[in-house]
Structure 1
């Protein structure tokens, strides 16, 4: 239940040719408290509720619990979410044993593209594709919970 991941800006769209899957994601937040973020998500034809804990000091790891719910339940809960729905397409880009999840944002966050890679340990080596830009791991302004209230186009 502890996720370890690094997050990066993306500098080129060439990742799209390497992607093996893409899916639309719409999500909102019932709570954006850093101690316990509660997210509602519709990913394709499936709904999810996710609780995330506070990140460690490096921003590399934090508690995450997720449960699948129906799309109808997710739709109902999205109506109860705080203002600022996130709309994005997620691309899955395999690199050896790793899969980079690249999010291309729309709406108030249009123009922002970030990539995340999950790791088994904080010091695990991972590939660095040419389209990977500056690391923003631990920079809370890039957390989806923050992008919902302070979108990229307001920066």
Structure 2
């Protein structure tokens, strides 16, 4: 079974905004289902569509994951017809010390939130943290995209 091993962090806005970024890619994504055991996500990027099925484990950093590319037009049809409260974000991919960080700058109801993710080959793999990374939030459900679609950042009491 394929596993995704991923850690999530908040981003220091001032340092990120001063950072020279690569070109980002716009994402729109929604959830056909999302419950305690599984999520089924549909995503449309600028050029592609994807459907992803993720399971749950006792460790939120490790999830069984199946992802398949689908035609972008079909992804948009699924987003329009089978999901609600879509998430919009721009994703930047930054290489740092041999690892790729994916930084999501959210739009719409989640505007103001910036989250970075790093995928690992092993949960104990060592990696360096860029200066624009803030605290780890891997174990905080509210930062999962499926949660953000239901309880957007704009409704949080900070």
Per-residue deviation, 1:82: 3.2
Inter-partner Cα distance in structure 2 for 1:3 and 1:11: 25
With 106-115 and 76-85 compared, the bigger mean Cα shift is at 76-85
- Calculate the TM-score normalised by the size of structure 2: 0.92
Inter-partner Cα distance in structure 1 for 2:104 and 2:28: 12
Per-residue deviation, 1:120: 1.0
Name stretches of at least 5 consecutive residues in structure 2 with no aligned partner.
none
- Calculate the TM-score normalised by the size of structure 1: 0.93
Match of 2:24 among 22, 25, 35: 22
Partner of 1:75: 76
Name stretches of at least 5 consecutive residues in structure 1 with no aligned partner.
none
CA contact (8 A) 2:13 2:114 kept: no
Inter-partner Cα distance in structure 2 for 1:34 and 1:21: 35
What are the residue-to-residue correspondences of 1:122-137 with 2, within 5 Å?
A: 122-137=123-138
Aligned to 1:48, what secondary structure does the other structure show? Answer: strand
State the Cα deviation string for residues 115-146 of structure 1 (Å, max 9, x = none): 00011111111111111011000211111011
Partner of 2:33: 31
Inter-partner Cα distance in structure 1 for 2:94 and 2:20: 6
Inter-partner Cα distance in structure 2 for 1:49 and 1:13: 34
Per-residue deviation, 1:13: 4.8
Aligned CA RMSD, in angstroms, stands at 1.4
Inter-partner Cα distance in structure 2 for 1:57 and 1:113: 25
Per-residue deviation, 1:21: 3.7
Inter-partner Cα distance in structure 2 for 1:45 and 1:134: 32
More helix by share: 2
Aligned to 2:150, what secondary structure does the other structure show? Answer: coil
Aligned to 2:112, what secondary structure does the other structure show? Answer: coil
What are the residue-to-residue correspondences of 1:107-146 with 2, within 5 Å?
A: 107-146=108-147
CA contact (8 A) 1:20 1:94 kept: no
